Structure 1
Amino acid sequence: METIETIATPQKAIQEDKDFKRSLGLLDATMIVAGSMIGSGIFIVSADITRNVGSAGWLVAVWLITGFMTITAALSYGELSGMFPKAGGQYVYLKEAYNPLVGFLYGWSFFAVIQTATIAAVGVAFAKFTAYLIPSLSEDLVAIDLGFRTISPAQLLSIVVIVLLTYINTRGVKNGKIIQTTFTMTKLLSLFGLIAFGLIMAKGDVWTANWSNAWDLHGLAKDGSVTSYTMVAALGAIAAAMVGSIFSSDAWNNVTFIAGEIKNPKRNIGLSLFLGTLIVTLIYVTANIMYTAVLPLQEIAAADKDRVAVAASHAIFGNVGTIVIALMIMVSTFGCNNGLILAGARVYYTMAQDGLFFKQTGHLNKAAVPETALWIQCIAACIWSLSGNYGQLLDMISFVVVMFYMLTIAGIFILRKKRPDMERPYKAFGYPVMPILYILMGLAFCILLIIYKPEFTWPGLIIVLAGIPIYFIALSRQKRLV
């Protein structure tokens, strides 16, 4: 990995941020939070959650627990964003609270899988639902046969979308802002509309059947068979169920990566984090209540290819429901990917400022955006799109994502001790109780996954640990250049 000649000081990094154009207001920042969170997950993962918990009450409870954790984390990040209102976000917070190695391990994991594989997964989700309208783009068809691997039209369309959005974002942050705000507003209104129609069309017998024994926690297979849990196994089932809800609620922190382009960042980043996560949590919880109002639990658990929203939309609108939901998911995933692409490149830019990423990613183009970082991210995401393995990796990375969130929030306690006099225009809500509560809930989630779903933990840890030798190689090269 090529590196710059010296590690940038915090002052230099702040100076570099002055080259960014602060053109994003509170609404834009909030739309980045909400838009980056809402992709395809809310339309799909409730099927797996229902199979794990087997009841309407626990289905909604899993989303409430995840929403509480997300909002708590977002409120805690508000303090960190006010202290370090510059590009890089979580990478910067970890570096400042701990050391450059911890920051790098997050940045490495972010580039290797967290952001790039998510971009790929969301891109393919866009293509899969486009195939509802244009069947020739189906994921089940073969566009290219390489012998050792086949590539579907859906994967190719995903790449086209990723390249298009990357190109648009290289032309300046205002272009990305317009797409983000327009598409996020559209999908928020569409989701609220779907939820409203679903609740209006609620089926009394379905609602009664689903909620008559709402807190009976058990496994529910696609064929309708039921598995009873012991108390400990039940906790493992809840943790497994939360993998989907946490994945669907992730990427809320993307707005912190573009702090250098937000107006009045000390105020607007923290406020946008709260507003965005609150809006999305309300949508997710009410969407699942709506699912239980129009579909029997067994139909939620056994939805074709886990497409719960398609089944719900069909129950609400009839045959046209498939087209309605396909259009909604296309809008949702297109806007989601724009936010992920826009924000992610700023992390690599900041890492390059510290001499820990490719040198050229640390430069801005004439439009004041990190163009090289955008294209490198694009290449990695396209490779994941072609691999077809992003889905499994994203399941496995939830453990690592929560682990880094816990470390970052614990960083608040460390920084209050290390830098007590540093300006804090916004302080973590409910400190120290709320941050501690998040850390305890995150620990419980991670420990239960280690015990009951180890396949969801060790691959992510291997990816993180692979960054250690890369970090020291980068340092050694840097020393030779000094």
Structure 2
Amino acid sequence: MVSDAGPGRHLPVFQALLITLGMVITTDILKTAPTVALNVGPEHFYLVWVLGGVASMIGALCFAEMATAFPHPGGDYHFLRTAYGERMGFLFAWSRFSVMHTGWIALSAFMFADYVNAVVPLGPYGSGLFAGAVIAALVLLNLAGKHIGFITQTLLVGLLALGFLSIASAGVFLAWQGIEAPAPSLAPVAENTGVAGFSAAMIFVFLAFGGWSDAATLSAEVRDDRRGIFIAMLGALSVLMAIYLALNWAFVEGLGFAGLAASNAPAVELLNRAFGAPGVLLILLMVGIAAIATINSTLLVGARTTYAAARDVPQLRSFGAWDDRHGVPRKALLAEGAVALLLVLFGSFTQSGFNTMVEYLTPVYWLFLSLSSVALIILRRRFPHVPRPVKVPWYPLLPLLFFGLCLYMLYSSVTVVGCGAFFGIAVLLVGAVILAVLSRLTPSPHPSPLPEGEGADRGVLGDTST
């Protein structure tokens, strides 16, 4: 049965925490740790990881306040639309649909396919076919029902966390055996120094912590409507920071700091030293699990943003239907999968889709994250009587601090990434053109403010089904 009723509160808090952890925990740390080490040196290495975790928690606090006050399957789409208007909300939803979410799905599928191709040759177009098959299988899995998709994600995250702990155990094993770290064959050369080095390091640290804002799309489905999403977001980031610190300690303990900075694959080298060939196979298995977990979690939250945005645009209303029988936004999920498959097809022919997508993902991400941090202040002023089960402490200092950080990271990402940032701008312009055409066809009504005393569960815009 398909309806406009939307999702219900079916998700236990602990499962929401694991799903959120799956949104943020990736194998990025296995590639970014050497770059961070190369840019900051041993005296500040652990500090930047702690700063990245704490800064992400500040941002998560801002999102938790908005998510508990205005729960909605659209997450930050809903916050931006309510704070800045429907046009900004549409552009954000368009960017997620056409770049951020679907692009990340394609990237993860290609990463998995490339690792498989290194073990079992797949042929010139085999990686693209394999990546497309993985995406299609996960779309079908999520179409089977919300419980299957969420349970799958919980199992994948559990396996991935165990994999990361096994890497950390390699460092413990080498330290227990008294095996000293080898000297690197080539001395690492710092890419940047001083403030430039710190800025470059933080870009890669935040890349490893990124994705926590997507958890806001679960705010209308967590059983504990008061603090459930707060526990999920802050709990996931706390676990993630502990895992990252343990991994980095293991890298330094097993390879030495200079060895880590000079390494192209620190986890492979560490596990190979500790456990031999089985350790290398473990890394390949982890990459596969991480890719599937990332694709699955992105499908879960991406389809919900598309569903929420489609409900607000008359011409796209068919994508805003909720399948009550399976508990998923069926058409929105199919649309997400279709665009991701088109990006896989594009990447198969260009053979450079991974790098290009990374370039334009980062600036667009920080642009909208900075707007979301200011949205908290706007929503407090515009709707002061809406109950807020979670409130950001030291308001407005922390939101403004996070806004300043977002602007700094936006500037750094543009200057470091370079011309790839213009692809994101081009996509936004395409979305603006589509918005102008849709506005001419059917002018949208202006949202009405939430009447004083209304329950927060309705959201700021009340019933959007009419």
Same-fold status (TM-score > 0.5): yes
1:41-63 deviation digits (Å, cap 9, x = unpaired): 12222233344x06234443333
Matching of residues 45-444 of structure 1 within 5 Å: 45-51=32-38, 53=39, 55-131=41-117, 134-137=119-122, 141-142=123-124, 151=125, 153-202=126-175, 205-206=180-181, 224=187, 226-227=189-190, 234-303=194-263, 306-355=264-313, 358-365=316-323, 366-388=325-347, 389-444=353-408
1:55-99 deviation digits (Å, cap 9, x = unpaired): 234443333232222111111111000111121001001111111
Pairwise CA RMSD: 2.7
Unmatched tracts of structure 2, length 5 or more: 348-352, 446-465
Task: Please give the alpha-carbon distance, in whole angstroms, between the structure 2 residues aligned to 1:478 and 1:440.
Answer: 37
Task: Say which of 20, 27, 32 aligns to 1:40.
Answer: 27
- 1:30–1:480 Cα change, 3 Å: closer
SS in 1 for 2:226: helix
Task: Please give the alpha-carbon distance, in whole angstroms, between the structure 2 residues aligned to 1:204 and 1:136.
Answer: 36
Does structure 2 retain, via aligned residues, the 8 Å contact 1:40–1:125?
no
1:401-435 deviation digits (Å, cap 9, x = unpaired): 12211211111111111111111111124432222
1:168-196 deviation digits (Å, cap 9, x = unpaired): 11121101111011111121122123213
Does structure 2 retain, via aligned residues, the 8 Å contact 1:34–1:280?
yes
Distance apart, 1:227 and its partner CA: 5.0
Give the letter for the 1:226 counterpart. Answer: V
Distance apart, 1:393 and its partner CA: 1.9
Task: Please give the alpha-carbon distance, in whole angstroms, between the structure 2 residues aligned to 1:288 and 1:64.
Answer: 12
Give the letter for the 1:75 counterpart. Answer: L
- 1:244–1:387 Cα change, 3 Å: farther
Does structure 1 retain, via aligned residues, the 8 Å contact 2:141–2:149?
yes
Task: Please give the alpha-carbon distance, in whole angstroms, between the structure 2 residues aligned to 1:40 and 1:356.
Answer: 40
Task: Please give the alpha-carbon distance, in whole angstroms, between the structure 1 residues aligned to 2:153 and 2:287.
Answer: 15
Task: Please give the alpha-carbon distance, in whole angstroms, between the structure 2 residues aligned to 1:295 and 1:427.
Answer: 43
Give the letter for the 2:42 counterpart. Answer: A
Matching of residues 441-456 of structure 1 within 5 Å: 441-451=405-415, 453-455=417-419
% of aligned pairs identical?
Answer: 24
- 1:478–1:316 Cα change, 3 Å: farther
Does structure 1 retain, via aligned residues, the 8 Å contact 2:138–2:296?
yes
- 1:409–1:456 Cα change, 3 Å: same
Distance apart, 1:361 and its partner CA: 1.1
SS in 2 for 1:261: coil
Give the letter for the 1:118 counterpart. Answer: W
Task: Please give the alpha-carbon distance, in whole angstroms, between the structure 2 residues aligned to 1:204 and 1:319.
Answer: 18
1:194-223 deviation digits (Å, cap 9, x = unpaired): 21332331467539x89xxxxxxxxxxx96
Does structure 1 retain, via aligned residues, the 8 Å contact 2:359–2:417?
no
Does structure 1 retain, via aligned residues, the 8 Å contact 2:112–2:287?
yes
Q: Which moved more, 1:186-195 or 1:258-267?
A: 258-267
Does structure 1 retain, via aligned residues, the 8 Å contact 2:167–2:267?
no
Does structure 1 retain, via aligned residues, the 8 Å contact 2:171–2:249?
no
Give the letter for the 2:116 counterpart. Answer: T
Does structure 1 retain, via aligned residues, the 8 Å contact 2:17–2:233?
yes
1:31 maps to 18
- 1:100–1:479 Cα change, 3 Å: closer
Task: Please give the alpha-carbon distance, in whole angstroms, between the structure 2 residues aligned to 1:282 and 1:36.
Answer: 16
Task: Please give the alpha-carbon distance, in whole angstroms, between the structure 2 residues aligned to 1:236 and 1:229.
Answer: 6
SS in 2 for 1:116: helix
1:362-410 deviation digits (Å, cap 9, x = unpaired): 1123323111111111111122223331333223322221221121111
Q: Which moved more, 1:379-388 or 1:111-120?
A: 379-388
Q: How many residues are treated as equivalent by the alignment?
A: 436
Q: Which moved more, 1:112-121 or 1:348-357?
A: 348-357
Task: Please give the alpha-carbon distance, in whole angstroms, between the structure 2 residues aligned to 1:69 and 1:436.
Answer: 12
Unmatched tracts of structure 1, length 5 or more: 1-14, 143-150, 211-221
Give the letter for the 1:92 counterpart. Answer: H
Q: Which moved more, 1:71-80 or 1:471-480?
A: 471-480
Distance apart, 1:480 and its partner CA: 10
Task: Please give the alpha-carbon distance, in whole angstroms, between the structure 2 residues aligned to 1:188 and 1:363.
Answer: 35
Task: Please give the alpha-carbon distance, in whole angstroms, between the structure 1 residues aligned to 2:443 and 2:204.
Answer: 43
- 1:270–1:480 Cα change, 3 Å: closer
Task: Please give the alpha-carbon distance, in whole angstroms, between the structure 1 residues aligned to 2:160 and 2:190.
Answer: 37
Give the letter for the 1:337 counterpart. Answer: I
TM-score by length of 1: 0.83
Give the letter for the 1:260 counterpart. Answer: A
Distance apart, 1:301 and its partner CA: 4.1
